[in-house]
Structure 1
Amino acid sequence: MRVLVIHNRYRDAGGEDRSSQAEVELLRRFGHEVKVIERSNRQIDSYGWWERLRLLDRAAWNREALREVGQAVRDWRAEIVHVHNFFPLFSPAIHIGARQAGAATVQHLHNFRLICLNGVMLRKGRRCERCVGRTPVQGIVHGCYRRSVFASAVVAHMLQVNRCRDLWREAVDAFIVPGDHSRQLFIAGGLPADRLHVKPNVVDGRQRVGMDMTEGEEALYVGRLSEEKGVGVLLDAWPGIGHALTITGDGPLRSPLEIRAQGLPVTFTGALPADQVMARMQRSRVVIVPSICHETFGRTIVEAYACGKPVIASRLGNLPDIVVDGVTGFLVEPGNAADLADKAKRLLNDRELARRMGKAAHEAYQQGFTAEKNYQALMSIYRDALKRKKG
């Protein structure tokens, strides 16, 4: 099968970028031909004022990207166009270009951008669903995207233009959501339920089988350093823990978080390549996911499972569907530093408990998250998309 993959990379690489790359590698591993068209938000840094002004409109409907993708489909004879992120340098118009050129289209929903202006359903540190299924007026009023009324209006314009075109029904053959909780939110937001397929993000843990499950003395956080990820709550929980914490990742809050962590046994590594992230997981005793927003999936959890590590995660969004409380780790109340501290102490001070939960986590990975199982699910979605396109 010939698959054209489209992805708009973020300024600071995160889970979405890792997931899109992992899916490309999965397809190639199983013998499919894959062509990738990528753009990066770092390109915007070189834009002059006129290009930046044009981007305001092109984020909603980019005719050049529409033609580029359509031509790529025709030249390369792509059967599937799999879009991971289109915002802001491609726009939803690429689905029209792909379909007009004869390909079936698949939209991966890694975040909540189609139903929430900032994509994380968080406002002023609190979870928010006020724009789900509605015109996002509240998101504009509160400046939910980049804390700017103007920037929020640009995203709202993109959403409304394509809702009015009924693009999500007319030009997308299948949507992929990483968990059922996310699926229900997207249905409430107006996306067609019969095209929303649940498939977890792919994590290839083939090289992690048979490791020493008792290895590690410290805790690890991996992810973007931004408000919704709850790293501030994690730091609030850490005084008195008595064990080291490594924070891997980058983002807009890195500097203030580093200042906040002064005097604590906390190390910031910045963003690291995937192989180094997995190596650090192997050297850790527990991985912590303290999100205060609805996570669409929780890729870090599955990576930890592949490494045989228990996880402490917020009882929120799709995370409780992955972490079995008291079996593969612990669930904690979102934003509750005392609860997080208690669970962290239990795992960091009890090697045997960590080993037992890590073994259960690795078994959970083998049962539900291997690359082979993920590939089978992806092929089923592709077949459904092709059938709908022809039908």
Structure 2
Amino acid sequence: MKITYITNLYPPSIIGGAEIVVEKITKKLAKEHEIIVITNNSKNEEKIENKIKFYKIKTNIYPVKNQLTESTILKPLWHAIDLFNINAYKEIKKILKKENPDIIHIHNYKGLSPLAFKAAKDLKIPLVFTAHDYSSICIRANLLNGKGEICENPRIPCKIYNKIQKFLIQDKPDIVTAPSGFVMKQLENAGLFSDARKIVLPNPVETETQPVEKSYDTLDILFVGSLSRHKGPDILIRAFRELENDNLKLHILGKGPDEDELRKLAEGDDRIIFHGFLSGDELMGMYQRANVTVVPSICYDNSPIVIYESLMNSTPVIASRIGGIPELVRDGYNGFLFEPGSVVELSRILKKISEDPSILKGLERNAYESSQKYSIEDHVKRLEEIYRGLL
């Protein structure tokens, strides 16, 4: 098969887990199929890497990878251009006409315009869409308001934006997938993709690893993610500082807009270490060393890659009971769940394991075993079945 992936980011450009998932999938599929990737860039570029043909296209006043650092003054303009980006539409359609793929699979599309859906359907090519977040129903993609709280009642500009976007993408995909049932439910509640077949397909991980033996001389607690309030790192730091044990260390991996504030919050506690952004073997080494990974999100996380990566390295997960997280973390089986935002409850769990690390033994075994059902091989086979079904 000849398959075109449309994704706003592709490694080494990384903001979240979606682009990591797309890279894993495309590299596996490229061994048996012809793969084309259309992605966003600061300039137009065409090249072939690892048997994958890339079209990197410039579509807006700045590339989507700059979204976190660009001026807030420019962001409304960027979103307005993206919504009606005729140039992006024409460029994507031109590439699709040239390549004439059997299947088009859209992942995160902000920066490549919702008109990418129209470009695919204009050519009557079967279309699959994967919802990695809430971009289809929220301009911020995380269902949070400007205060960083769950958005119960969107502002009028947001409602107008969502209505226009719904008109542009509604009824375009033949099949919609999402890594969690929670996200799929949000799309259904918003009245999106009513005519499409819907499939919950969890994210994939490499399962060729072996169970990891842990040391308990020092309990290493790990946070991996964006240093942004909605991911809850401040909640973790506050909970950690409630504990007086000297045998604890908190490792914070990532970067983000709230890093300076978080460093101030951790000031004076030598047990808290900021490592910056890590990837590849360095990141995997941190998971293997860690005794637990904490995912303290206060937003409706979809299906965080950090949980999959932690489980595959035999590392139990302590996480907020929110969004799609409880579909991956079973309380008392491969980790613990706590009420989102509760410093007290999280601190209590951390205190419990610090006083009796033997609790972790069974959780580690279950963490590794639960990761095995998310193998990249099974994921790719399922995708091939979906694609062939459309053909």
Q: What is the TM-score normalised by the length of structure 1?
A: 0.84
Backbone CA RMSD of aligned residues? 2.7
The reply on whether 1:262 has 2:267 as its aligned counterpart is yes
Aligned counterpart in structure 2 of residue 251 of structure 1, from 249, 256, 269 = 256
Question: Aligned ranges for residues 366-385 of structure 1 at < 5 Å?
Answer: 366=372, 368-384=373-389
Q: What is the letter of the counterpart of residue 81 of structure 1?
A: I
Rounded to whole Å, the distance in 2 between the matches of 1:381 and 1:305 is 27
Q: Which residue of 2 aligns with 1:310?
A: 316
- The alpha-carbon deviation at position 275 of structure 1 amounts to 2.8
Q: Which residue of 1 aligns with 2:236?
A: 234
Q: What is the letter of the counterpart of residue 321 of structure 1?
A: E
The reply on whether 1:139 has 2:155 as its aligned counterpart is yes
Rounded to whole Å, the distance in 1 between the matches of 2:131 and 2:113 is 14
Q: Which residue of 2 aligns with 1:93?
A: 115
Q: CA deviation digits over 1:60-89, x for unaligned, max 9?
A: 1222222222222222231222222111x2
Aligned counterpart in structure 1 of residue 96 of structure 2, from 52, 68, 73 = 73
Rounded to whole Å, the distance in 2 between the matches of 1:351 and 1:53 is 49
Q: Which moved more, 1:212-221 or 1:236-245?
A: 212-221
**DSSP 3-state at the match of 1:330:** strand
Q: Which moved more, 1:103-112 or 1:213-222?
A: 213-222
Q: CA deviation digits over 1:192-214, x for unaligned, max 9?
A: 354222111122232x2243245
- The alpha-carbon deviation at position 104 of structure 1 amounts to 1.7
Contact 1:12 1:250 in 2 (8 A): no
Unaligned runs of 5+ in 2: 41-62
Contact 2:39 2:112 in 1 (8 A): no
- The alpha-carbon deviation at position 38 of structure 1 amounts to 1.6
Contact 1:95 1:172 in 2 (8 A): yes
Rounded to whole Å, the distance in 1 between the matches of 2:362 and 2:22 is 32
Q: Which moved more, 1:110-119 or 1:18-27?
A: 18-27
Q: Which residue of 2 aligns with 1:201?
A: 203
Contact 1:60 1:157 in 2 (8 A): no
Aligned counterpart in structure 1 of residue 162 of structure 2, from 159, 180, 187 = 159
Rounded to whole Å, the distance in 2 between the matches of 1:102 and 1:6 is 16
Contact 1:15 1:223 in 2 (8 A): no
**Distance of aligned partners of 1:255 and 1:240 in 2 relative to their CA distance in 1, 3 Å threshold:** same
- The alpha-carbon deviation at position 346 of structure 1 amounts to 2.5
Aligned counterpart in structure 2 of residue 324 of structure 1, from 299, 323, 330 = 330
Rounded to whole Å, the distance in 1 between the matches of 2:337 and 2:108 is 30
Rounded to whole Å, the distance in 1 between the matches of 2:237 and 2:77 is 41
Q: What is the letter of the counterpart of residue 375 of structure 2?
A: T
**DSSP 3-state at the match of 2:358:** helix
Contact 1:287 1:311 in 2 (8 A): yes
- The alpha-carbon deviation at position 321 of structure 1 amounts to 1.3
**DSSP 3-state at the match of 1:246:** strand
Q: What is the letter of the counterpart of residue 321 of structure 2?
A: R
- The alpha-carbon deviation at position 56 of structure 1 amounts to 4.7
Q: What is the letter of the counterpart of residue 122 of structure 2?
A: Q
Q: CA deviation digits over 1:19-55, x for unaligned, max 9?
A: 22222223235x222221221424689999xx98974
Higher helix share: 1
The reply on whether 1:6 has 2:6 as its aligned counterpart is yes
Rounded to whole Å, the distance in 2 between the matches of 1:316 and 1:185 is 13
Q: Which moved more, 1:216-225 or 1:305-314?
A: 216-225
Rounded to whole Å, the distance in 1 between the matches of 2:212 and 2:14 is 31
**Distance of aligned partners of 1:210 and 1:61 in 2 relative to their CA distance in 1, 3 Å threshold:** same
Aligned residues: 358
**DSSP 3-state at the match of 2:177:** strand
**Distance of aligned partners of 1:67 and 1:315 in 2 relative to their CA distance in 1, 3 Å threshold:** same
**Distance of aligned partners of 1:355 and 1:33 in 2 relative to their CA distance in 1, 3 Å threshold:** farther
Q: Which residue of 2 aligns with 1:64?
A: 87
Higher relative contact order (CA 8 A, sep 6+): 1
Q: Which moved more, 1:7-16 or 1:68-77?
A: 7-16
The reply on whether 1:352 has 2:374 as its aligned counterpart is no
